[in-house]
Structure 1
Amino acid sequence: MTRREIISPAALQARALDLAGQHAMALLARGPGSDLRAALSDLAALGPVALLRIAERFGLTALELDLLCLIAAPELGPEPAAALAAHPLALQGRATPALCALVLGAEAGPALSATALLRQGALVEALPGTGLAQRLLVLPEAVASALLGAPAPDPAVLGALTPCPPAPHPQAGMLADALLAARGLDPAPILHLAASDPAEAAALVAAAGARLGLRAAALDPSALSIEPARAAQLLNRDAVLTETAFLLPASPEGCQIADRLQAPCLLWGIEPHRTQRPRASIAPVRAAPLPRSALADAEASHAVGLTADLPALIRTRAAQGLEGLAQRIEPQARWDDLVLPPAQMQQLRQLAASRRHGPLVLDGWGFRAKSARGLALTALFSGASGTGKTMAAEILARALCDDDLGSGGGALALYRVDLAALTSKYIGETQKNVGRIFDAAENAGAVLLFDEGEALFARRSPEVKDSHDRHANAETSYLLQRLESYSGIAIVTTNLRAAVDDAFLRRFRAVIDFPFPDAAQRALIWRAVLPQALPRAGIDYDALARLAVAGGFIRAIALTAAWLAAESGGPLTMAHLERAARQEYMKLGKPLSEAELRGFR
């Protein structure tokens, strides 16, 4: 068992605070201190570290991090608290600007001014007092809670906030796209939901927030006892600490707060009050040709500063709900690695292009308004084992990610569904597992790969003879319903196309047959599978093409031969490939004819 597996989140935060406490004591002793950020980064290998996350999200400098540790010393344990209280410039066991300037130098004074990041961002507070140098510096309760790994809104706004529990909403993708579009505008517009029902607005924001990896909360400005400027200051901070998007009424008070918010902010109401910042309604923003994937939503969360590590957010969201029912595949294959006849290759490229043009066709041209069913990017890949079906799924995952993010180097999360784990002998459990798979994949922007899909997508029994037939038909019907309403990406592979129910076939965007490769195609596959760095001598690709095996088996032979070449200490030769081919044919239980070996010697 690894160290990461045995440390609890609470213990991890306690260890981080202990490091911060030791750092504060070293600073108070006028020593050089430690490289706290590096130590926290090492600790982050075990899990999320709240203090490091705060430092990264708020962009704290080394000086600001030192100041935060000094001011937080009373919260970091009895030893740091005692060390701070013993300092002659401390008051009531708290740090003061005079103490900080003595310990950290003259630069500490400007860093603690009312307009500097620590106080403007409400990470520390200076209590009222006589004289600037002797004011008590304290850690707000919300920041202290976040350091302990239990983030919560500030008590001054908590009573005015109502959490919005997430639930599926048909317009969640539209709102997430609007947030994605708004991030690129300066100044960022306040998004306005033209809704008269606050519950409906809250449900939509919660659903969109879930796609972004955010919580959602509705604010009632009339329940606040602080000024709008102070409320906005606290909400800006708490949005980062708690990863929350806020919904405000389009009242005069709500608009005053919204004008000052840098965090994700939405107004609801039919006739909103005037705002100083520009307002964008959802409809015009939605018309922009933006991707609708949850991966793009994750990028939006990263872009507005609520997520520091975009790949980590994507991996985390993709894994939610898929644990135990699907296995992650890391897509590596590219278009050049796949050898198929021109017709099938064109079908695959059209499938990728349909994703790219989805916003125009579905939203711009109105197909989504006609019906929300059958809009998923779904495909059936049929063919014998080793003909490239899984590789094609990997290529699509990479191509679709490039379309969404323009990264050119990433890939959507690809998950192979474990059909054995998905199906259950208990009534209703299979439907629950199917629903969980589709919900999780839709929220995370993952690509679902149903291997040997005939196990779930099989023809329904025309004659119901017993309860087993009835339940099997019910499971197939439910899967058909979920596939039709699914808005994500699903690929089904099968060796037995004839076994797939016709009702499923018409709902696939594409049905692509992967034929057994002919000799010319096998020669191309051989050239593609041998890496450039592999030393070789006397390789006859035409002779290799005589081996009547598909691409998956060609790759297996090539890898085995490479191991043999490495063991021999020389380059890859036809002799190594012959030995590897014999081993692979033995696994398949097939004889290796002399005609196939012609040209190997």
Structure 2
Amino acid sequence: MTAADAQDEADWHEANRRYLVARLAALGCLLSPGSGGEDEARRAIAEAADALRAPSAIDRVAALFDLSPFERDLLLLCAGVELDASFAARCAAAQGDPLRVAPTFSLALAALPDAHWGALGPGAPLRRMQLIEVGQGETLTLSPLRISERVLHFIAGVEHPEERLVGLVAPVAPVAPVAPVAAPLAPSQARLAARIGDALRAAEASGGAEASGGARPIVSLTGADPASRRAVAAAACASVGLGLLALSADALAARQDAQLVCRLLGREAVLSSSALLVEADDLDATDAARAGLVGRLLDGLPGPVLVSARERLRLGRAPDAAFEVSRPAAQEQAALWRQVLPAAQGGLIDRLVAQFDLDEPALRSAAAAAASAGDGADPDVALWDACRAEARPALDELTQRIEPAATWDDLVLPEAARASLREIAASHRQRGTVHGAFGFAERGARGLGAGALFAGPSGTGKTMAAEVLAAELRLDLHRVDLSQLVSRYIGETEKNLRRVFDAAERGAAILLFDEAEALFGRRGEVRDTVDRYANMEVAYLLQRIEAYRGLAILTTNLERNLDPAFLRRLRFVVRFPLPGPAERAALWRRAFPPRAPVVGLDVERLAQMSLTAGSIRNVALRAAFLAAEAGTPIRMDHVLAAARAEYEKLGRGEVRAEGG
């Protein structure tokens, strides 16, 4: 705000204060007829009105809520009791009761000009929009009236949000430029915001609230990224001179006082000259009951309503316009990277754009974080890791992030399995070239995802292999617990899976779905409704895997229980067999860290025990604890004792050699 703007605002506040005082003085004369001062009050009103360069707050309220002169004066009468100490005594004197210090409708009907009974009707603005609250009394006319605190502050020229909406509604500021070369939105998003602004103008021009019997314009915004939808909505509203208030549809539906909240929302939107953004990502397209409830609650609100959801929802009547909002396109992200990092190599920018799907604020934040990494850090690696960190928070809330510790040297697998893992890593590294330069992405996203199945008994290295891939590709690895995502409620499993994939898209992280047989059982014939919806859940997961830009890995201990039709929709299947004697010998040689005090181990003898890689790790760790407690190096007797305990744990009886 410039100094001139600040001075204009100060001048308006002073003129508004004088105008309000003059209006209250005129009302005081009406409460005490014959007391004199009417002419002076009229002159004061005229002088204060001349000093106002913009409408006074009370006149704005009257215009915004279409109040009659009597309704405006009734509202001022209630404000007077709060602002002028003499008003309470005047109200009591006018009502002939020293205890009746609050204004009543009976007093207003008797003292104020142009009085009409409908001013305090349930559907009239004073009560419907919660401008005035009616207290307990013998009758409606004798009940005490009180002005809402939010409206009182507004009339006095003070902007103070409604306390009862704090935590439920948040103002959304339009995205501001971060640097002179930066646009508030990506060009495609800015163009979309302009189209939405045009739609809002057209909806208002075609009738708005008056022509549609109180119905407000509704605009539907869909897309995978809630932040982009919110930013575009804010820019669109700013283009038509409106602010934006964001509200969670799910939070509204859960409120016991939802009807009152909606009235307060409507009043807040009017007073703040804002549209309402209903964020309905928690509502599913099939959840018609809750969507209908939210639609009924919002019905009749003044001003535009924008409904933001991943998929198009119908909250009440159909929207006046619908738009799909996307994150900045790949070319726009590349252009932004070149603005932020003009010295960066084109190959680095291509890799960043191929891997990460970042909007402008996240992109600039990553660049700033990389710049502060220090002189000793590789700038390309620092930038890559900063992008990972920007894409990480949403996924961390839904999954368990695993820090990769394994390397290729730790994997003891047949050469065929190792070759398959190398092919997976290569395909992910080269996906930008194949999808973009070779044109495969132009045919659609379906089938471009790198879905992989890791099949084999427990402890054969499936999770370790995922760690190796994450380390090789320098990507985050997130374990997804399917047991936590699968719900017995229809539609909830798909909703949970959608949240995971939508969050993962920003960084194309590696998703590890452990024990996929929990969801991927053999379909066979559909015997009941549960089977039918279970198949729908599996189909949805496979559909998202096929379109996912990153790498999704499913693991199973029971490949025979998987439907072969599912395997055809995965690009890679890597089988992890039980290790043979040679592999077990290699695992035993790697089982103890170099610093561990190991003495006299017979690796060839240990390799004869039928143990998986996971069990060998367990035995080695248990033996180390036994030796540490005894204060000796790790010897063969410690390892054999630990092996006996592992066999007992597995229910396999005595320790025996292969085939023994």
**Normalised by the size of structure 2, how large is the TM-score?**
0.47
Partner of 1:468: 530
Distance 1:368 1:555 in 2: 43
Instruction: Determine helix, strand or coil for the equivalent of 1:538.
Output: coil
Structure 2 residue aligned with 1:320, among 394, 416, 425?
394
User: Per the alignment, do residues 365 and 317 of structure 1 end up closer, same or farther by CA in structure 2, a change over 3 Å counting?
Assistant: closer
Aligned partner of 2:431: which letter? G
Shift in Å at residue 416 of structure 1? 1.6
* Distance verdict in 2 for CA 1:560–1:299, change over 3 Å: farther
SS of residue in 2 equivalent to 1:459: coil
Q: Which residue of 2 aligns with 1:363?
A: 436
Contact between 1:290 and 1:359, CA under 8 Å: does it hold in 2? no
Q: What's the CA shift for 1:376?
A: 1.6
How many angstroms apart in 2 are the aligned matches of 1:220 and 1:466? 49
> Does the Cα contact within 8 Å between 1:452 and 1:494 map onto a contact in 2?
yes
The number of equivalent residue pairs is 358
Secondary structure of the structure 2 residue equivalent to 1:537 = coil
Conserved 8 A contact 1:378-1:491: yes
Partner of 1:388: 461
After TM superposition, give the deviation of residue 597 of structure 1 in Å. Answer: 12
Q: Distance in 2 between matches of 1:265 and 1:428?
A: 30
Equivalent residue, structure 1, for 2:522: 459
Superposition map of 1:77-88 within 5 A: none
Cα distance in 2 for residues equivalent to 1:266 and 1:220: 26
SS in 2 for 1:292: helix
Is 1:400 equivalent to 2:473 in the alignment? yes
**Which residue, out of 447, 450, 454, partners 2:513?**
450
Cα distance change on mapping 1:196 and 1:536 into 2, 3 Å: closer
Q: Does the C-alpha gap of structure 1 residues 196 and 541 become closer, same or farther in structure 2, counting only changes over 3 Å?
A: closer
Aligned to 1:413: 476
Structure 1 pair 222/554, CA: closer, same or farther in 2 (3 Å)?
closer
Per-residue CA deviations over 1:559-579 (Å, capped at 9, x if unaligned) read 000111111111111111001
SS of residue in 2 equivalent to 1:487: coil
Question: Structure 2: where are the runs of 5+ without partners?
Answer: 1-165, 197-220, 242-327, 333-338, 374-381
User: C-alpha offsets along residues 197-217 of structure 1, whole Å, 9 cap, x if unaligned?
Assistant: 81179999x988959x99997
What's the offset of the Cα at 1:483? 1.9
Residue 198 in structure 1 maps to residue 262 in structure 2: no
Q: 1:469 deviation in Å?
A: 1.7
8 A contact 1:326–1:418 mirrored in 2 = yes
Corresponding position: 1:484 with 2:546: yes
* Contact kept in structure 1, 2:370 and 2:386, CA below 8 Å: no
C-alpha separation in 2, matches of 1:266 and 1:346: 32
Offset of residue 431 of structure 1: 1.1
Taking the aligned partners of 1:296 and 1:338, their CA distance within structure 2 comes to 34
Map 1:436-585 to 2 at 5 A: 436-463=499-526, 465-585=527-647
Q: Which amino acid aligns with 1:459?
A: R
CA change 1:576–1:395 in 2 (3 A) is: same
Superposition deviation, residue 458 in structure 1: 2.6
Q: 1:12 corresponds to which residue?
A: none
Letter in 1 for 2:464: M
- Structure 2: distance between partners of 1:278 and 1:473: 46
Q: Secondary structure at the match of 2:354?
A: coil
Distance change (3 Å), C-alpha of 1:222 and 1:392: closer
Counterpart of 2:365 in structure 1 is 301
Deviation of 1:481 (Å):
1.9
Alpha-carbon distance between aligned partners in 2 of 1:380 and 1:201, rounded to the nearest angstrom: 45
Aligned Cα root-mean-square deviation (Å): 4.6
Other structure's SS at 1:332 match: coil
Whole-Å Cα distance in 2 between the matches of residues 215 and 529 of structure 1?
Answer: 55
Give 1:438 shift.
Answer: 1.2
* Contact 1:193–1:267 (CA under 8 A) maintained in structure 2: no
Change (3 A) 1:472 1:575: same
Task: List alignment gaps of at least 5 residues for structure 1.
Answer: 1-149, 151-157, 165-182, 225-263, 269-276, 402-411
- Aligned residue for 1:449, secondary structure, equals strand
**Which whole-Å deviations, capped at 9, do the CAs of 1:398-451 have from their partners, x for residues lacking one?**
1111xxxxxxxxxx3222211221111111111111111111122243321111
Distance 1:434 1:193, change over 3 A: closer
Is 1:434–2:477 an aligned residue pair? Answer: no
Mean alpha-carbon deviation: is it higher for 485-494 or for 496-505? 496-505
8 Å CA contact 1:287–1:364 kept in 2: the answer is: no
| Per-residue deviation, residues 436-489 of structure 1 (Å, max 9, x unmatched) | 1111122243321111101112333433x3221222122222222222222222
Report if the CA contact (8 A) 1:192-1:267 is conserved: no
What's the counterpart of residue 423 of structure 1?
486
Q: Is the 8 A contact 2:609 2:655 kept in 1?
A: no
- Aligned partner of residue 387 in structure 1, secondary structure: coil
Q: Is the 8 A contact 2:192 2:232 kept in 1?
A: no
- Please state how far the C-alpha of 1:343 moved relative to its aligned partner: 0.9
> Contact 2:448–2:548 at 8 Å: present in 1 too?
yes
Instruction: Say if 1:190 and 1:265, in contact at 8 Å, map to a contact too.
Output: no
Q: Post-superposition shift, 1:540? A: 1.3
The 3-state SS of whatever aligns with 2:624 is helix
Judged with a 3 Å threshold, the aligned counterparts in structure 2 of structure 1 residues 585 and 267 are, in CA distance, closer, same or farther, namely closer
Q: Matched residue of 2:611: which SS? A: coil
Post-superposition Cα deviations, 1:263-321, rounded to whole Å, max 9, x if no partner, equal: x99999xxxxxxxx9999xxx99994555223888676322459968768745743425
Hey, what's the Cα distance between the residues in 1 that align with 2:489 and 2:623?
47
Q: Distance in 1 between matches of 2:426 and 2:183?
A: 33
| C-alpha distance in structure 1 between counterparts of 2:329 and 2:231, whole Å | 12
After superposition, the Cα gap between the structure-2 partners of 1:369 and 1:316, relative to the gap in structure 1 and judged at 3 Å, is closer
Of residues 647, 651, 655 in structure 2, which corresponds to 1:589? 651
CA contact (8 A) 1:578 1:597 kept: no
Correspondences of 1:55-134 after superposition (within 5 Å): none
Separation (CA, whole Å) in 2 of partners of 1:314 and 1:384: 32
Is the 8 Å Cα contact of residues 209 and 215 (structure 1) preserved in structure 2? no
Aligned equivalents of 2:435 and 2:330: distance in 1? Answer: 25
Amino acid at match of 1:301: S
The amino acid across from 1:369 in the alignment is: E
Structure-1 separation of matches of 2:227 and 2:648: 51
Distance 2:414 2:331 in 1: 53
Counterparts in 2 of 1:425 and 1:330: CA distance versus 1, 3 Å: same
- Normalising by structure 1, report the TM-score: 0.51
Q: How far, CA to CA, are the matches of 2:650 and 2:189 in structure 1?
A: 66
Instruction: Report the Cα distance in structure 2 between the residues aligned to 1:509 and 1:337, rounded to whole angstroms.
Output: 25
Provide the secondary structure at the position in 2 that maps to 1:570. coil
With over 3 angstroms needed to count, the CA separation of the structure-2 counterparts of 1:189 and 1:200, relative to structure 1, is: closer
Q: Which amino acid aligns with 1:440?
A: A
**Is 1:315–1:413's contact at 8 Å kept on the other side of the alignment?**
no
Q: SS of the residue aligned with 2:549?
A: coil
Letter of the structure 2 residue corresponding to residue 302 of structure 1: A
1:320 aligned counterpart, secondary structure: helix
